Structure 1
Amino acid sequence: MGNGAANPDGPVLAGVDKGDGQEYVVRCAAGQAALHGLPLHLLYVSEHPDRDAPGTDVVEPLERLVRTEFPGVTVTAEAVAGRPAAVLVERSAQAFWTVVGHRGSGGFPRLPLGSVSWQVATHAACPVIIVRPGDAPAAPEKRVVAGVDVTDASGVSARALDVAFAEAQLRGARLELVHGSFHLGETPTGPGMAAPDFEILDDAVHAALKEEADKRRDRFPDVTVELHAERLRAATLLAESSKGAVLLVVGSHGRSGLRRLLLGSVSSELLHTAACPVAIVHAPHPD
């Protein structure tokens, strides 16, 4: 099952760092490669090779970890000089998935326009999984969470749903479709103003979620689907739903043009608040 990647025959690309917690990032990437039957390529990019630890000191222990713990995964490793975000974005055009770590102020060195993980999630040519080292749940449930925008007409949410169904199927996990919405405009603020019929609105959302699930039932007959909608900020509801899950999948519109400058507000917030790895799926861009 494709994920809209630039290269459906490419490897899982894992951007690794010299900081603590990289073993978890690599295990997530190796697990993704094993699920899809793909090779794994570990890439360490040093912006200051003359000051940093030798690249082989970073990638070789991680490569050995994969060979030991994931013997069925073909793994290669590479250390290069360059700007980490730029190199990872360029290499993502040859990858099926890209996996990077994100620790807010830690992890990869922060750049003027934001962290490396932020830039990769925004500009990569394939879907990206963002992992926070050290945040691995002790006993994650077999559950994948997908954020659904029932008002999206661009196709991005549908693409993210296709990926979420495929990931749930590969993991033998149940899939939770989550929609959160809260608008100040729904709350009356003046005399004589009546609140909308929330029951009708809720029924419409549930019907839309069910319709999206039904569209994919023939392709993913073994995936058990749960529907979850609340009148709550989408990012807040998704962060709560991510607790104990193995993966959270969201679509990101960002901005159009030669380069999208920002992730969508929901997906960007979830990079900081989600309690499990976050898969960012966005529309392909020509550059």
Structure 2
Amino acid sequence: MDAPQRGAEVADVEPVIVGVDDADDQDVLVRYAAHQAMMRGVPLHIAHAVILPGPFGWEKEGEVGQGSPAQRGTSVVDRFEAVARSAFPDLTIAGEVHFGDPASTLVVRSEEACLLVLGHRGRGGFPRLALGSVSLQVATHSQCPVLVTRPGTPGEPPRGVIIAGADLVHHAPEALEFAFAEANRRSAHLHVVHALHRPALLPGPGSVTTAQREVHEIEDNARGLLEERIAGLRGRHPQVPVELHIEWARPATHLTELSGEADLLVVGSRGRTGLRRLLLGSVSSEVLHTARCPVAVVPAAADG
């Protein structure tokens, strides 16, 4: 992958980077990313990847006579820079034209970004992400949080609700830290959700039984552990209203259902090193496909 050809002048602060392709329907995505940068007080970088022709050359349908790949890439970035500047004239904006594989490019750029913003579906360049390919690769391997929007969601009026999935077994604090900070920026209510998927333990209707008491004990223990783990975050963000939810449900399904009334769903990835680094996690992977609001996937800190 070649170094970025533009935007090197904005390098002192970790920017928000939005990946774009050459489609005409990404103005909303770019404005959403610009708003993320404004909330954080950092620059916005608009990045586009150009896959260079092979030794025999090739051009996609409709690109014949439109200049070199580099010229077309520059034109894409120029167009979306204008969109972002029109919406946020006081925001520092830079363009990046890269040459190489989009997913690999974004993973490398994540080392110097505070947030990557991507669309949900698309074709080439930096796609609007056909999930299972670029988005999953980036979300799995990114060194910074990755925010994947949903079709039509970025322009909807805010609901003032953020959902954070909490994993008490493979606990990593980074996702909850991100969720608290995001709720603070947006003046939103934060709902921290831990779903227990143990349907065989659930007793049927009737009087209180030993099994029911065991269920209540499990719930109380989970709530106590979750309260303990977010105590410090509550102290650092006292203005954020927080509700804890311990639910007996399949985690990915429950988070997807809740996402329909949220502005953002926050989940964690498995880790940055070792075997865990190769897996996004089944819950995070599934909600990227199924959630009804934007999803932020937050990497765990490097092991050791």
The TM-score normalised by the length of structure 2 is 0.80
The equivalent position to 2:227 in structure 1, one of 206, 210, 221, is 210
Q: Is 2:281 the counterpart of 1:264?
A: yes
The equivalent position to 1:51 in structure 2, one of 50, 59, 63, is 59
Q: Residues 178 and 48 (structure 1 numbering): CA distance in 2 closer, same or farther, change over 3 Å?
A: same
What is the aligned-residue identity percentage? 46
Amino acid aligned to 1:143: V
Q: Verify the 8 A CA contact 1:99 1:128 in the aligned structure 2.
A: yes
Q: Verify the 8 A CA contact 1:43 1:79 in the aligned structure 2.
A: yes
Residues 33-63 of structure 1: CA deviation (Å, up to 9, x unaligned): 1111000000000224662551133222211
Q: Is 2:44 the counterpart of 1:25?
A: no
Q: Verify the 8 A CA contact 1:142 1:172 in the aligned structure 2.
A: yes
Residues 57-98 of structure 1: CA deviation (Å, up to 9, x unaligned): 322221111111112211111222211111111111111111
Moved more, 100-109 or 247-256: 100-109
- Alpha-carbon shift at residue 266 of structure 1 (Å): 0.4
For these two proteins, the number of residue pairs brought into alignment is 272
Q: Is 2:80 the counterpart of 1:65?
A: no
Secondary structure of the 1:216 match is helix
Q: Verify the 8 A CA contact 2:193 2:245 in the aligned structure 1.
A: yes
> In structure 1, how many angstroms separate the alpha carbons of the residues matched to 2:228 and 2:234?
10
Moved more, 99-108 or 67-76: 99-108
1:152 paired residue number: 170
2:68 paired residue number: none
Query: CA-atom RMSD, angstroms?
Result: 2.9
Q: Verify the 8 A CA contact 1:8 1:96 in the aligned structure 2.
A: no
> In structure 2, how many angstroms separate the alpha carbons of the residues matched to 1:62 and 1:183?
47
Structure 2 alignment gaps of length 5 or more = 1-10, 64-71, 204-209
Amino acid aligned to 2:256: A
Secondary structure of the 1:93 match is helix
> In structure 2, how many angstroms separate the alpha carbons of the residues matched to 1:59 and 1:244?
33
Moved more, 270-279 or 208-217: 208-217
Moved more, 61-70 or 49-58: 49-58
Moved more, 236-245 or 7-16: 7-16
2:110 paired residue number: 92
Q: Is 2:201 the counterpart of 1:186?
A: yes
2:41 paired residue number: 37
> In structure 1, how many angstroms separate the alpha carbons of the residues matched to 2:109 and 2:287?
24
